[in-house]
A = this chain, B = another copy of it.
Amino acid sequence: MDRVEIVEVGPRDGLQNLPDVIPVAERIAFVDRLIAAGLKRIEIGSFVSPKAVPQMADTAAVVAGIKRVPGLRLMALVPNARGASDAMAAGLDELEFVLSVSDDHNLANVRRTTDQSIAELEEVCTAIDPDKKLTLRFGLATSFHCPFAGYTEEARTLSVIERVLKIREGVEIALADTTGKAHPVNVRYLVEKALKTFGQSARFAFHGHDTSGFGIANVMAAYAAGIRIFDGAAAGLGGCPFAPGASGNIATEDIVNLFERMGVATGVDMPRLLEAADMAAEFPGAIPGSHSRLLPRQAA
């Protein structure tokens, strides 16, 4: 039986886009429900400036508060060496560094060119002890499409992959459809090339958004091209309050439903996942984007 690995990013990518700051106790309760659903990889928050992203303050307290189970790996987004150091001190198992393949998007986000971000990433990674049981993940935003520059050239994305793999082999690379405007042919071709060229040097994940309703189609395309690691957010959180329903992460429960219906194991307990998704959907200002949550719970 084929199986896939689901990375739940709701506690980070979902909650950081909510208008309000969710109290630490509720963040812990949310993560506990995700763990109860069998999710083994959870992006629990980020170690960024609490002034810039107050929603992600106190991520260390969230980590300290959740009930660990065997096999659980907690990931956090870290922007720099200090964030990496804080995350390791807090006991994180996986660190995610994000940079944009598109210069325009990277400049808008962090006021650096992609080249500058790659150089910084190299510095930060050099400072991290490679012997630790720490998973590094490089999240490549705008791998397929940029809100400013339109479709990203395949050659550009492949070149960025090549360069970040020179920093550290064996990492996980998340190809992100940041805008949700990648289409399935797009995804399939790029993923096939990436796996063919770099499949021996890295593990690849697909991180999509459901902006255009292409989320599940893109997951299928990435799966057909060989990816077996998929990011989702319970209830499809991650939407921008200024475009209701339009730009959330792909709902974890929709990804799980897809694979389970296809006979591909996810290790996730759907009824329990839906309990976590229900909680996520009720956070103030949440814009749920899930289909599976709306189905009759006893469906055939």
Seen from chain A, the residues whose Cβ lies within 8 Å of a Cβ on chain B are 147-148, 150, 181, 183-186, 210-217, 219-221, 243-246, 251, 254, 257-258, 261-262, 290-292, 294-296, 299-300
**Contact, CB under 8 Å: A295 / B212:** yes
Complex Cα spacing A18 to B221, Å: 34
From A236, which residue of chain B is reached at the shortest CB distance? B213
Given A213-B215, A213-B216, A262-B185, CB of A300 within 8 Å of CB of B147:
yes
Complex Cα spacing A185 to B244, Å: 31
**Contact, CB under 8 Å: B183 / A258:** yes
A180 to chain B, nearest CB (A): 9
Complex partner residue of A295 from B185, B243, B300, CB under 8 angstroms: B243
Q: List 14 A-B contacts (CB under 8 A).
A: A150-B300, A184-B258, A186-B262, A210-B291, A211-B291, A211-B295, A213-B251, A213-B257, A213-B290, A217-B217, A217-B220, A220-B220, A243-B295, A246-B294
A119 to chain B, nearest CB (A): 29
Dominant secondary structure of chain A at its interface with chain B: loop
**Contact, CB under 8 Å: B213 / A262:** no
**Contact, CB under 8 Å: B243 / A291:** no
> How many copies are assembled?
2
From A218, which residue of chain B is reached at the shortest CB distance? B217
Complex partner residue of A221 from B148, B185, B220, CB under 8 angstroms: B220
Complex Cα spacing A300 to B146, Å: 9
Extra contacts besides A213-B216, A243-B295 (4): CB < 8 Å: A213-B290, A213-B291, A244-B294, A246-B291
Q: Which residues of B contact A148 (CB under 8 A)?
A: 300
Q: Which residues of B contact A217 (CB under 8 A)?
A: 184, 216-217, 219-220, 258
Q: Which residues of B contact A214 (CB under 8 A)?
A: 216, 258
Q: Which residues of B contact A261 (CB under 8 A)?
A: 181, 183, 212
From A217, which residue of chain B is reached at the shortest CB distance? B217
Complex Cα spacing A246 to B293, Å: 9
Complex Cα spacing A243 to B293, Å: 10
A237 to chain B, nearest CB (A): 15
**Contact, CB under 8 Å: B212 / A254:** yes
Complex Cα spacing A181 to B262, Å: 11
**Contact, CB under 8 Å: B183 / A262:** yes
A228 to chain B, nearest CB (A): 15
Complex Cα spacing A207 to B258, Å: 19
Complex Cα spacing A257 to B184, Å: 12
